[in-house]
Amino acid sequence: MFSLQISILTEPLLSDKLMATEHNTTSNNEMNTCLIVFVKNPIPNQVKTRLLPILNAEQAAALYCAFLTDWCDALSTISDVDLIIANTPPESQSELEKLIGKHVTYIPQKGIDLGERLSNATKWGAENGYKKIIIVGSDSPTLPKSFISDAVVSLDTRDFVIGPSLDGGYYLIGFTTNILSEAIPSVFEGIAWSTANVLKQTLDRIKSINSTLKLLPPWYDVDTPEDLALLNTHLHAIRLAEGSTQAERTERLLSDLIKENSLWEN
């Protein structure tokens, strides 16, 4: 059985090494853009359960832990945004601080379904003085940071920005507070979450309020065994082309999991 423990899978984040003091956006908001990352506490049998046909529960949780730390480490290097972690369950903050660090702001996800949680996170951003609010997930460790930067810039001239995912959903949604009264909560209401209709239904709502939209390039989430195989191939390609990858923890752990579970043998 794969024996690595989640608690030792991650080394201190680069941002923690560079920052000498804790950052608290709620008391000293110097940015006008917040980047809210929706995350789950990486508990076995509660995260990445669709990978369980090829991984055990501990391995799936460990992999998500690597996704999360790689992704937050990459995002922490983006300038001119405040990084906000929207965590679930609400009591998971102390555990997530061990993985992500204390240099970011944590807010609990609130709401019965994903739509309510997204609406409440957006309202939190507006109440704390942000003019641009961007929300991303934590299922795409190879998503280029440039997409996030492009999203921030696009909101200078557009009301909405959205990054479509290959499964019919989206990996990013953002908006300016100028459109908030018209967009929230309607853009998140009545959506068939976790289906291939999420993007289409969201675009229909954006169209209905006559707002302007910036569309980012499509990308992929990693939820299924097929997605994981794609991630493995993609990481090999990035390593070959660039010599390094922003998802180094994921790359190392996935290599170990492939050997441990004899995955995708030729």
**DSSP state string for 198-261:** HHHHHHHHHHHTT--EEEPPPB----SHHHHHHHHHHHHHHHHHHS--S-HHHHHHHHHHHHHH
- Give the global pTM: 0.90
Report if residue 1 sits inside a domain: no
The total of structural domains in the chain comes to 1
- Look up residue 170 and give its two tokens: 């989206």
pLDDT tens track for 123-148: 999 999 999 999 999 999 999 999 99
Please indicate, yes or no, if residue 266 is contained in any of the structural domains.
Answer: no
Domain that holds residue 56: 7-261
Q: What is the pLDDT of residues 87-133, one digit of tens each?
A: 999 999 999 999 999 989 999 999 999 999 999 999 999 999 999 99
Answer whether residue 201 is part of any domain.
yes
